[in-house]
Amino acid sequence: MDAYLLDWLNLLLRWVHVIVAIAWIGSSFYFVFLDASLTPPEDPELKARGVDGELWAVHGGGFYHPQKYLVAPKQLPSHLHWFYWESYSTWLTGFALFTVLYLFQASTFLIDRTVMDWSPGAAIATALGFLVVFWILYDRVCRWLGERDGQVGGDLRVGVVVAGFVVLASWLACQWFAGRAAFLLVGAMLATAMSANVFFWIIPGQKKVIAQIQAGQVPDRIHGQRGKQRSVHNTYFTLPVLIAMLSNHYGWLVQGSWNWLVLTALMAAGALIRHSFVARHKALVQGRSVPWGWALGGVLLIVAVVVGLAPRASRPAASVTSPVSLDQVQAVVNQRCVMCHNAQVQQKNVALHTTELIRQHAQTMYQQAVVLKAMPLNNATQITDDERALIKRWFEAGAR
């Protein structure tokens, strides 16, 4: 019953997390598009009011006319909508899901003894340290390299250093944690920085601007510049975070001694593709050709990963083409699977301690152990590629 309720908690948390993440990412993408698509106003009245950019759009059967003020309007409206709960809700639900899946079950999901043999407490503390330390380093880089003489800039300097930290974190995570946990942890690390940007800089900066306006002061431009900088960083983090989060469904993706390189390549591809869309918005407004080269670079990176991870074809030996008996499959299952799938312990409601049960769950075995390589979890029982191939041949021959 405990495992059943845990699965329900996992499902519901994941559902809510995806819902609020869609809301946050959607609003983030929209405002990045809006900022890149604004044009200087032509109406003298708009200029007199301090409008710096405007956009006419049509959607849902109506016309919209959003306007952006360079720093702030001269007079604040009575109703002002804030965008921050989408970010906070995404992080809170994501951290809750990470806690339920990985921290509460560190020995099973966070630790792979063949990668790093350490205690659950040490692994949990280190995982949480990833979230905190990366934010501190990232924030310091943005402040030290991205702000000079009261102005925010240095995007290239900041980007290069932060990218270096991400690569280092990816390598360390893959040296210390199970593959799935490592990929997910790097994604959570970036997502934490994204939400921290909103919590520590974007929203407080906006509140300071409002307080200065209400006090009759001229708003300090640094708050808007800093908020814009962090918002742009967030939009580039988005696709790398998503691929890191999705990766834990694909065992073949997170395994291997070069898994950290796979992760960084896919995240880099996501950042390049995202940059292509950001640059596209600006190009369309300025009447220039769309720089699809960035997206092409991202696609080529993905192709390189696909080719690099492709199974290597080998000439089958005569014994490999011979039929596989159920007894052979049962011998593998007894050694690699039954300790977690038996009459007493039925992980995921699957038991495999008899030949009848093996035939009953043949489809699941094939999907999880052969196609996805998701089982055994973290390959705790050290199933070999030859044993996976044996299950594959047995299933594809009809699972007799």
The predicted pLDDT at position 318 comes to 46
Residues 217 and 344 occupy one common structural domain = no
The predicted pLDDT at position 237 comes to 97
- Region 309-337 average pLDDT: 77
Coil/strand/helix, residue 341? strand
What share of the chain has pLDDT > 70, as a percent? 97
Residues 365, 391 contacting (CB under 8 angstroms): yes
The predicted pLDDT at position 368 comes to 85
Distance CA 13, CA 18 (A): 9
Residues 180 and 323 occupy one common structural domain = no
Residue 358 has pLDDT above 60, yes or no: yes
Within-domain flag for 70: no
Within-domain flag for 137: yes
The residue ranking higher by pLDDT, 370 or 134, is: 134
Domain final residue, candidates 309, 333, 368 = 309
Residues 129 and 250 occupy one common structural domain = yes
Residues 120, 111 contacting (CB under 8 angstroms): yes
The predicted pLDDT at position 55 comes to 95
In the block, residue with structure tokens 């990176």: 301
Residues 11, 98 contacting (CB under 8 angstroms): no
Q: For the chain, how long is the longest CA-to-CA vector?
A: 87
Q: Whole domain around residue 243: which residue ranges?
A: 2-27+77-309
Within-domain flag for 44: no
State pLDDT tens for residues 126-160. 999 999 999 999 999 999 998 887 778 788 899 99
- Region 86-115 average pLDDT: 92
- Region 120-124 average pLDDT: 96
DSSP secondary structure, 96-141, as one string: HHHIIIIITTIIIII--TTT----HHHHHHHHHHHHHHHHHHHHHH
Residues 108 and 125 occupy one common structural domain = yes
Residues 242 and 186 occupy one common structural domain = yes
Question: How far are the Cα atoms of 324, 332, 356, 369, 374 from residue 386, in angstroms, in the given order?
Answer: 12, 10, 23, 12, 16
pLDDT bracket for residue 373 (50, 70, 90): confident
Residues 287 and 381 occupy one common structural domain = no
Residue 314 has pLDDT above 70, yes or no: no
pLDDT bracket for residue 1 (50, 70, 90): very low
Residue 316 has pLDDT above 60, yes or no: no
Residues 224 and 109 occupy one common structural domain = yes
Residues 166 and 301 occupy one common structural domain = yes
Distance CA 77, CA 122 (A): 51
Please tell me the least confidently modeled range out of 17-26, 167-176, 379-388.
379-388
The residue ranking higher by pLDDT, 142 or 399, is: 142
Computed over every residue of the chain, the mean pLDDT equals: 90
- Region 276-292 average pLDDT: 91
Within-domain flag for 140: yes
Domain final residue, candidates 271, 286, 309 = 309
Please tell me the least confidently modeled range out of 108-112, 118-122, 196-200, 232-236.
108-112
Within-domain flag for 39: no
110 CB-near residues (< 8 Å, 6+ apart): 102, 103, 120, 123, 124, 127, 177, 178, 181
Within-domain flag for 55: no
The predicted pLDDT at position 129 comes to 97
Kindly report the backbone phi and psi dihedral angles of residue 173, in degrees, each rounded to the nearest multiple of 5, phi listed first. -60, -40
Residues 15 and 147 occupy one common structural domain = yes
Residues 292 and 225 occupy one common structural domain = yes
pLDDT bracket for residue 321 (50, 70, 90): low
Residue 319 has pLDDT above 70, yes or no: no
Residues 370 and 348 occupy one common structural domain = yes
Residues 304 and 186 occupy one common structural domain = yes
Within-domain flag for 46: no
- Region 183-208 average pLDDT: 96
State pLDDT tens for residues 329-339. 999 999 889 88
- Region 164-178 average pLDDT: 96
- Region 268-283 average pLDDT: 94
In the block, residue with structure tokens 């009809």: 398
24 CB-near residues (< 8 Å, 6+ apart): 86, 87, 89, 90
The predicted pLDDT at position 348 comes to 74
The predicted pLDDT at position 306 comes to 94
- Which one, of 346, 377, 382, lies nearest residue 107 by Cα? 377
Domain final residue, candidates 250, 281, 309 = 309
Number of domains in the chain: 2
Identity of the amino acid at 181: A
Residues 350, 342 contacting (CB under 8 angstroms): no
Within-domain flag for 50: no
